[in-house]
């Protein structure tokens, strides 16, 4: 008796019943592509932050000497009263200090320090910056650094003869704003173009503005203990999009946010973070 | 025994001379005053209550570059009873601060302030308005202290400042 036809008859149903393979080569290739570690774009967070710190230390001594001679030695050390709100300040020059689209408005409780030797301005005490859709606060000190003024601009304002006669002809000014360094409970709040809340917080921060002709960038770097970052509102259950919040558990964490036009790019130190992700509520199934 | 006595008699007058010689340098030190201090004192050789109009005080550094320029529309000489020193009470003041290359960095308008001659400092207890010379910076406060010799200033809080910054330009995502 020939058994071969019988074996074929038993195998054919098995072949029909076998499910198609669940993971294809294409799926495996996609998985490999997704899990392969990618080269991290280096935004230079640590380098620029440390450079700013070193510059600040160098100029602090001169400011302290001056404050002592001006009988204001406690401006840096003494505890401070809450920051004044804009409404409390009488303004005889109405309109000059109103927020405008192309301005940054800074209010501080203790004072503003300027030095002819450097292109820097120090804001002491509780400081609040408003502008460009962001609000930044800190409760210790804010230091603004400027680019040196352009020589050709200064020289080209007046004719040579007039410039020689006029002792104030060489108007230099402060140049364009280069960076802020903020210390003491720094908080940055803002909103993205699609209305998502953006929050960053930490002990120290560096806010830099690039000086490129065709693109205006700004970057915010936080470094140190207890850094926080939130995109969207993870506490809001009725939110539409995905939100997430991060807090650092490392003492040497850093986070850097780059604003390019209306886009926001964020990079953070590789380890030492607790992350909470909030997903939007699932749409109710159609009956 | 005679020899030491003789030596003592010989040396004693010379020691006394040394003492006498030691005094004049002290007197000389008192006489040699810093010319700048002398100029400051000469400014104060006017009685309290005197009024000076349109006072201009330029300050230069060691390299003869401008550090600051103070103009006061009206100055009244007054005695400060607390410190027993003469101060100049100014009204309608302007302070120009220069950078290290002698270019004007900021102009400050003050309605009234005290000029401390010895310290060469201007102490304002009224509204202070500072404008950056390129028009991109402005600050105001309720008072301030200006060191005219070093070009340093502190605007006392609460203070507000404003910067003009370039507009952002939109770009596409990379």
What is the radius of gyration, based on Cα positions, of chain A? 29
pLDDT band for position A209 (cuts 50, 70, 90): confident
Classify residue B39 by burial, with Cβ atoms within 10 Å: 0-12, 13-18, 19+: exposed
Partner residue opposite B170 with nearest CB, options A66, A97, A261 = A261
Taking residue B127's Cβ as centre, other Cβ atoms within 10 Å add up to 18
pLDDT band for position A138 (cuts 50, 70, 90): very high
So what's the pLDDT on residue B41? Answer: 58
* Structure tokens belonging to residue B30: 């008192």
Partner residue opposite B147 with nearest CB, options A69, A173, A262 = A69
Mean pLDDT of A43-70: 78
Alpha carbon distance A86, A57 (integer Å): 31
Alpha carbon distance A208, A30 (integer Å): 38
pLDDT, tens digit (0-9, with 9 covering 90-100), for A23-52: 678 777 877 777 666 665 565 666 777 777
Report the gap between the CA of A260 and the closest CA in chain B (Å): 7
Does residue A171 register a pLDDT over 60?
no
So what's the pLDDT on residue A244? Answer: 83
Range list of β-strands (E), chain A:
103-108, 111-115, 120-124, 127-131, 134-138, 141-146, 177-191, 197-209, 217-224, 228-231, 243-248, 253-260, 263-268, 273-278
So what's the pLDDT on residue A43? Answer: 58
**Residue A148 within a domain:** yes
CATH architecture for segment(s) B46-163? Sandwich (2.60)
> How many folded domains does chain A comprise?
1
So what's the pLDDT on residue A109? Answer: 92
Report the gap between the CA of B74 and the closest CA in chain A (Å): 22
**Residue A242 within a domain:** yes
Token pair 């020193």 is found at B85
So what's the pLDDT on residue B112? Answer: 94
Does residue B6 register a pLDDT over 60?
no
Residues with Cβ within 8 Å of residue B138, at least 6 apart in sequence? A96, A97, B129, B130, B131, B132, B161, B162
Q: Are B68 and B88 in contact (CB under 8 A)?
A: no
DSSP secondary structure letters along A5-16: HHHHHHHHHHHH
Higher pLDDT, B102 or B166: B102
Partner residue opposite B171 with nearest CB, options A167, A177, A260 = A260
Mean pLDDT score of chain A, rounded to an integer? 73
Report the gap between the CA of A265 and the closest CA in chain B (Å): 10
Residues with Cβ within 8 Å of residue B159, at least 6 apart in sequence? A107, A108, A111, A112, A123, B139, B140, B141, B142
Chain A hits for B163, Cβ within 8 Å: 103-104, 106, 144, 177
Alpha carbon distance A103, B10 (integer Å): 87
Higher pLDDT, B137 or B18: B137
Q: Where exactly are the structural domains of chain B?
A: 1-32, 46-163
Higher pLDDT, B43 or B132: B132
pLDDT band for position A95 (cuts 50, 70, 90): low
So what's the pLDDT on residue A92? Answer: 43
> Residue A261 half-sphere exposure, CB side, CA atoms within 13 Å?
9
**Residue A31 within a domain:** no
**Residue A259 within a domain:** yes
Chain B hits for A71, Cβ within 8 Å: 145
Alpha carbon distance B32, B38 (integer Å): 10
Higher pLDDT, A88 or A64: A64
ipTM of the modeled complex:
0.71
Say if strands B137-147 and B152-164 run parallel, antiparallel, or are unpaired.
antiparallel
Q: List A residues 61-100 in contact with B (Cβ-Cβ < 8 A).
A: 62-63, 66-67, 69-72, 75, 84, 86, 88-89, 92-93, 96-97
φ and ψ at A113, to 5 degrees?
-110, 130
Mean pLDDT of A172-190: 81
Mutate to test the interface with B, among A66, A91, A116 (most CBs of B within 10 A): A116
pLDDT band for position A170 (cuts 50, 70, 90): very low
φ and ψ at B11, to 5 degrees?
-85, -25
Token pair 């967070």 is found at A45
**Residue A38 within a domain:** no
Chain A hits for B141, Cβ within 8 Å: 111-112
So what's the pLDDT on residue A168? Answer: 38
Mean pLDDT score of chain B, rounded to an integer? 75
So what's the pLDDT on residue A219? Answer: 83
So what's the pLDDT on residue A128? Answer: 93
Does residue B127 register a pLDDT over 70?
yes
Sign, Cα dihedral of A174, A180, A181, A183: positive
Give the C-alpha distances (Å, rounded to integers) separating A189 from A86, A102, A258.
Answer: 18, 18, 15
Alpha carbon distance B146, B122 (integer Å): 5
Does residue B107 register a pLDDT over 60?
yes
Sign, Cα dihedral of B136, A180, B101, B94: positive
Domain CATH for A232: 2.60.450.10
Classify residue A24 by burial, with Cβ atoms within 10 Å: 0-12, 13-18, 19+: exposed
> What is the extent of the structural domain holding A107?
47-278
Q: List B residues 1-60 in contact with A (Cβ-Cβ < 8 A).
A: none
So what's the pLDDT on residue B130? Answer: 92
Instruction: With CA atoms as reference, report the closest residue to B104 among A107, A198, A262, A166.
Output: A166
pLDDT, tens digit (0-9, with 9 covering 90-100), for B25-72: 333 344 445 666 666 555 666 778 889 899 999 999 888 888 899 999
Mean pLDDT of A249-260: 84
Does residue B159 register a pLDDT over 80?
yes
So what's the pLDDT on residue A137? Answer: 92
Alpha carbon distance A83, B27 (integer Å): 55
Instruction: With CA atoms as reference, report the closest residue to B56 among B74, B39, B44, B38.
Output: B74
Classify residue B112 by burial, with Cβ atoms within 10 Å: 0-12, 13-18, 19+: middle
Q: What percent of chain A has pLDDT over 70?
A: 62
Q: Are A170 and A163 in contact (CB under 8 A)?
A: yes
pLDDT band for position B122 (cuts 50, 70, 90): very high
Instruction: With CA atoms as reference, report the closest residue to A128 among A59, A52, A180.
Output: A180
State the pTM of this model.
0.68
3-state secondary structure of A47: helix
So what's the pLDDT on residue A172? Answer: 47
């Amino acid at each position: 008796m020939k058994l071969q036809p019988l074996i074929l008859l038993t195998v054919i149903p098995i072949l029909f019943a076998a499910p198609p393979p669940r993971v294809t080569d294409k799926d495996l290739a996609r998985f490999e592509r997704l899990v392969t570690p990618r080269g991290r774009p280096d935004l230079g967070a640590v380098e620029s932050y440390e450079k700013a710190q070193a510059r600040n230390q160098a100029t602090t001594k001169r400011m302290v000497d001056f404050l002592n001679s001006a009988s204001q030695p406690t401006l840096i050390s003494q505890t401070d009263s809450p920051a004044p709100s804009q409404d409390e300040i009488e303004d005889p020059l109405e309109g000059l200090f109103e927020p405008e689209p192309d301005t940054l408005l800074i209010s501080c409780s203790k004072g503003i320090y300027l030095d002819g030797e450097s292109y820097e301005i120090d804001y002491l005490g509780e400081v609040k910056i408003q502008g460009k859709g962001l609000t930044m606060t800190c409760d210790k000190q804010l230091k603004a650094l400027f680019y040196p003024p352009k020589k050709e601009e200064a020289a080209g304002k007046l004719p040579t003869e007039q410039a020689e006669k006029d002792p104030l002809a060489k108007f230099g000014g402060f140049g364009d704003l280069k960076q802020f360094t903020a210390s003491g409970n720094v908080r940055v709040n803002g909103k993205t173009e699609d209305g998502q809340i953006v929050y960053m917080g930490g002990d120290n921060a560096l806010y830099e503005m690039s000086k490129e002709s065709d693109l205006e960038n700004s970057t915010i770097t936080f470094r140190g203990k207890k850094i926080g970052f939130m995109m969207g509102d993870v506490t809001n259950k009725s939110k539409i999009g995905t939100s997430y919040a991060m807090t650092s558990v490392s003492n040497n964490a850093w986070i850097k946010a780059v604003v390019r036009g209306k886009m926001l790019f964020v990079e953070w130190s590789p380890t030492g973070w607790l992350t909470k992700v909030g997903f939007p509520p699932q749409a109710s199934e159609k009956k | 025994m005679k020899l030491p006595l003789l030596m003592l008699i010989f040396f004693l007058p010379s020691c006394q001379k040394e003492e006498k010689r030691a005094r004049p340098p002290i007197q000389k030190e008192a006489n040699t005053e810093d010319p700048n201090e002398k100029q400051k004192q000469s400014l104060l050789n006017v009685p309290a209550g005197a009024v000076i109009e349109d006072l201009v005080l330029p300050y230069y550094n060691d390299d003869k570059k401008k550090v600051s320029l103070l103009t006061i529309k009206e100055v009244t000489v007054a005695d400060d009873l607390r410190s027993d020193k003469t101060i100049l009470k100014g009204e309608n003041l302007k302070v120009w601060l220069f950078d290290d290359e002698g270019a004007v960095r900021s102009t400050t308008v003050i309605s009234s302030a005290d000029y401390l001659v010895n310290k060469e400092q201007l102490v304002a207890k009224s509204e202070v308005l500072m404008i950056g010379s390129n028009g991109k910076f402005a600050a105001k406060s309720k008072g301030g202290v200006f060191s005219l010799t070093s070009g340093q200033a502190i605007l006392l809080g609460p203070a507000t400042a404003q910067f003009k910054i370039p507009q952002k330009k939109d770009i596409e995502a990379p």
